[in-house]
Amino acid sequence: MTAYQIILLLISLVVCVTLHEASHAWVASCLGDQTAKMQGRVSLNPARHLDPLGTLMIFLVHFGWGKPVQFDYRNLSHPKRDAAIISLSGPLANLLTALVLGVILKYASLPFFVADAFWWIYSLSIVLFLFNLLPIPPLDGSKLVGLLIPKSKESWYWHYMSQGPIYLILFIIVDRLTEQLFNFSFFEVYLSFISDYISTLIGLTS
């Protein structure tokens, strides 16, 4: 990557991760759990949400993370439903960011650097939206699955959730191997299909 691209990536990471994690914290607070608020996470200060190691890993292995927002199920009126809402709020914040920036990029005449920065934020917002909706713990989509699990299978579900990082690492390894061996990546296909649809919906092309 060039120095210019690194600057644009850092800007987009700061914006996208901050909005994603702050949305989790704000919605958790609205639904009755103040854990994140007491930890200072209901904030648009990037320093409260960026994880130094997670940011570094973006450059090393093209995969990273922000600081997870903690919440206590016991403080929620409807634990499974509210947990799903809290989890969905982060990806939806990224989707809303992409939609707003897509419209701006389509209709506004912007200075060169601003247009580039908006395009990178737009693109990363879609990536984070789609990646976090995968039903693999600890990603946000795994908590949406909880809404569909019958009570008789809840013990299996919570065991699945507790083993989350293992499944995510396996998914990434298998996806990378299939990409190297067969030139096929499930995530790349998934990302390309949905991002193309969103861009078409907005009327924005790269």
pLDDT at 32 over 60: yes
pLDDT at 65 over 80: no
Which residues are catalytically annotated? 21
Enter the tokens of residue 98.
């992409």
**Secondary structure of the chain in HEC code, one letter for each residue:** CCHHHHHHHHHHHHHHHHHHHHHHHHHHHHCCCCHHHHCCCCCCCHHHCECHHHHHHHHHHCCCCECCCCCCHHHCCCHHHHHHHHHHHHHHHHHHHHHHHHHHHHHCCCCHHHHHHHHHHHHHHHHHHHHHCCCCCCCCHHHHHHHHCCHHHHHHHHHHHHCHHHHHHHHHHHHHHHHHHHCCCHHHHHHHHHHHHHHHHHCCCC
pTM confidence score:
0.89
pLDDT at 37 over 60: yes
Q: pLDDT digits over 116-152, tens only?
A: 999 999 999 999 999 899 998 889 999 888 888 888 8
List Cβ neighbours of 139 (8 Å cut-off, separation of 6 or more).
Answer: 131, 132, 133, 164, 168
